[in-house]
């Protein structure tokens, strides 16, 4: 239950954007902030790509992007779209034919910069294909590939140049009466990205796709993204996010969700609150949390679980969570249900028991949700 009305310091006021559709997923307006990732298999390897899309969707991805570098990939895309449980965005660079092929293949969105695909006739053909196939467009400005005339004008990639680039691409779509687009202005530098995003957020009402590009490996990329995207989301900017990591796309989805969960913007699965542990712990907190994270991966119901080593913070944290366990003495601890101390449990049976309690609570919450609908 949200208690934001009594805790106004938790409120985030989302920027008002237009809503567009990416396949069946609404992006912008008051739609939930969508989590995206991108496959890193060869698109021509349909089986491997579909497997990766499915794994990402299972982890919670709302939308998945797939690269379409050549004609064979366009053909493979058709099969991938057919097998995918979520809308597919086709990543196109420069080649207008790929854009047309991808729209025809059933892509829900094209990631393409209309200013980079050639003369007006080509631009019109791509926009027509998108329109004819209910395909939206993401303009993807990237600090690393800014147009030459903007680099000459500004001297280096800077927020103003990125915003201007974005607005130039937007103008081309608008001149063609095409409005089903969203926009990103990514950079690998957190400051540059954040400033560019703030600029574009003021300059357009288009939905915004957030990302820090080439953020790095699992740990460093997660931190960069949490700082960059976290700040923007906190300001109310962002309608869909992708965390770019040199890691499995499933990790990108997990990190994306964790960022949204931390800000109370989206909830999915069990939010585990656990202490770092110290000499006071009544059981092995770190090993227990590792085991529970794995054993509870299948739970999609938004709920909270506190796993706290001792009574210093245990009862206080348990007060705010659906299920809790606090270490005690003599090889056992206290189980908390809905914030209240419920019963004792021995440490050696506690993991199985907590999994059962969480599953029970998830089923209860699901039933209550269904009854309310
Ligand atoms: S809750 Fe207890 S065990 Fe956990 S870090 Fe704090 S004092 Fe240590």
Distance CA 256, CA 232 (A): 13
Distance CA 238, CA 193 (A): 12
Structure tokens at 321: 């969570």
* pLDDT value, residue 58: 94
**How many A from CA of 274 to the centre of ligand 1?**
9
Alpha helix stretches (DSSP H) within 176-297: 190-203, 218-234, 249-262, 285-295
- For the chain, list the strands marked E by DSSP: 20-22, 25-27, 34-38, 63-67, 88-91, 109-111, 136-142, 181-186, 209-210, 240-242, 270-274, 303-308, 323-327, 332-337, 340-346
* pLDDT value, residue 5: 66
| Mutate which of 277, 282, 315 for ligand 1 pocket (most atoms within 8 A of beta carbon) | 277
Residue 333's SS3 state is: strand
Whether residue 278 has its Cβ less than 6 Å from ligand 1: yes
| CA-to-CA dists, residue 83 to 68, 69, 79, 133, angstroms | 17, 20, 6, 18
Residue 244's SS3 state is: coil
Residues of the chain with pLDDT under 50: 1
Would you mind telling me the total number of residues written for the chain in this entry? 373
Considering only CA atoms, which residue is closest to atom 5 of ligand 1? Answer: 277
For the sheet with 88-91, list strands across it: 181-186, 136-142, 109-111, 88-91, 63-67, 34-38, 240-242, 209-210
- pLDDT digits over 55-72, tens only? 999 999 999 999 999 999
Query: Kindly report the CA angle at 59 between 231 and 229, in degrees rounded to 5?
Result: 10
Neighbours of 211 (CB within 10 A): 28
* pLDDT value, residue 10: 85
pTM flag (> 0.95): no
Instruction: Report which ligand 1 atom has the smallest distance to the Cα of 275.
Output: 4
- pLDDT digits over 309-352, tens only? 999 888 888 888 999 999 998 899 999 999 999 999 999 999 99
Whether residue 233 has its Cβ less than 6 Å from ligand 1: no
């Amino acid at each position: 239950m949200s208690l934001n009305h009594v805790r106004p310091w938790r409120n985030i006021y989302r920027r008002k954007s237009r809503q567009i559709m990416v396949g069946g997923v609404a992006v912008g307006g008051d739609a939930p902030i969508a989590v995206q990732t991108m496959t890193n298999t060869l698109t021509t390897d349909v089986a491997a790509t579909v497997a990766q899309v499915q794994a990402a969707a299972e982890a919670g991805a709302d939308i998945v992007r797939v690269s379409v570098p050549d004609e064979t990939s366009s053909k493979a895309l058709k099969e991938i779209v057919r097998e995918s449980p979520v809308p597919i965005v086709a990543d196109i660079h420069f080649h207008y034919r790929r854009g047309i092929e991808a729209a025809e293949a059933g892509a829900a969105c094209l990631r393409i910069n209309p200013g980079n695909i050639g003369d007006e006739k080509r631009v019109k053909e791509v926009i027509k294909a998108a329109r004819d196939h209910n395909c939206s467009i993401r303009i993807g400005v990237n600090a690393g590939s800014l147009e030459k005339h903007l680099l000459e004008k500004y001297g280096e990639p800077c927020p103003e140049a990125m915003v201007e680039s974005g607005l130039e691409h937007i103008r081309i779509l608008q001149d063609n009466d095409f409005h089903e687009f969203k926009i990103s202005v990514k950079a690998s530098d957190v400051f540059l990205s954040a400033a560019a995003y703030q600029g574009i957020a003021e300059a357009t009402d288009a939905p915004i796709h957030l990302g820090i590009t080439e953020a790095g490996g699992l740990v460093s990329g997660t931190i960069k993204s949490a700082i960059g995207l976290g700040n923007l989301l906190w300001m109310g900017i962002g309608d869909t996010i992708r965390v770019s990591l040199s890691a499995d796309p499933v990790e990108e989805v997990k990190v994306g969700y964790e960022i949204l969960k931390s800000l109370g913007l989206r909830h999915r699965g069990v939010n585990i609150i656990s202490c770092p542990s110290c000499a006071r712990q009544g059981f092995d907190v770190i090993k227990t949390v590792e085991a529970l994270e794995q054993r509870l991966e299948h739970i999609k119901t938004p709920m909270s679980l506190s796993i706290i080593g001792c009574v210093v913070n245990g009862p206080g944290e348990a007060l705010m969570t659906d299920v809790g366990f606090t270490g005690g003495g003599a090889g056992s601890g206290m189980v908390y249900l809905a914030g209240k101390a419920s019963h004792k449990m021995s440490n050696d049976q506690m993991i199985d028991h907590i999994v059962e309690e969480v599953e029970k609570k998830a089923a209860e919450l699901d039933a209550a949700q269904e009854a309310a609908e």
